[in-house]
A = this chain, B = another copy of it.
Amino acid sequence: MAYRLYYWPTIQGRGEFVRLALEAAGADYEDAGRTPGGPDFGAVSRVLFSGEPGPPAFAPPVLDVGGHLIAQTANILLYLGAHHGLAPDGELDRLWVHQLQLTIADWVGEIHDTHHPVGVQLYYEDQKPEALRRAEGFREHRLPKFLGYFERVLADSAASGWLAGDACTYADLSLFQVVEGLRYAFPRAMAREEADTPHVTRLHGRVAELPGIAAYLASGRRIPFNEDGIFRHYPELEG
């Protein structure tokens, strides 16, 4: 069965966490908004407002699984993890991986808000003074706190080098993506912080070398980072 992913066709955004899991698993999927003729921006709204098939979703990404829609990034990964060997088998082990993913989701929300501290209904240009303050707090306080947490988790499981258990899970893929995005958005702060988080840096490199991920990153399917996504490089937010 082929999956069908509904997400914005010109950004990595939250959809990228799903794309990475699908690519790592070698799953058969279609990226509905990206057609041979170019980006189809209507695909997302058609699925959000049709109510068919399945129940509605608040926002993309949405994954069509044999006619049933699943939304919320971490929730989609919960499903894919169980069906594609990207999560352990036991209930408590699965909850641990999901806990890591939800912590990453909180981090991603804070990264997004460095350029949108007032609200998603406004452009970045309309909230620049607030963004300067929020980005400073993020660089100085939140970035080291989140990175340090994942460094500690990885140090605890240093024998395997993965976040949980002895195999790669969707949380590892997601941590890779956050490191990628942060290196793009805050290169100076990341260079400084990564000096203290060698396990995180090593995990990033290891995920990049997974066969499915390496092939994906080298392909045209990987959309470059840009200033419409979650991870944006605005020099003025670098401090």
Q: A residues engaging B (CB < 8 A)?
A: 51, 55-59, 65, 68, 70-72, 74-75, 78-79, 82, 91-92, 95-96, 98-99, 102-103, 106, 109, 113, 117-122, 127, 130, 133-134, 137-138, 141-142, 146, 149, 152-153, 156
Return chain B residues, CB-CB under 8 Å to A117.
113, 117-118, 130, 134
- Chain B residue nearest to A163 (CB atoms) is B55
Given A58-B103, A152-B56: A98 in contact with B119 (beta carbons within 8 A)? no
Return chain B residues, CB-CB under 8 Å to A58.
103, 106, 146, 149
Q: Let me know if A102 and B74 touch, CB within 8 A.
A: yes
Q: Let me know if A99 and B118 touch, CB within 8 A.
A: no
Return chain B residues, CB-CB under 8 Å to A102.
72, 74-75
A122 to B134, CA, bound (A): 10
Interface centre among A57, A71, A72, A141 (most CB of B within 10 A): A72
Q: Let me know if B149 and A137 touch, CB within 8 A.
A: no
Given A71-B103, A119-B141, 9 other A-B residues pairs in contact with their CB atoms under 8 A: A55-B156, A56-B149, A58-B106, A58-B149, A117-B134, A118-B133, A119-B134, A119-B142, A122-B137
A77 to B18, CA, bound (A): 23
- Chain B residue nearest to A102 (CB atoms) is B72
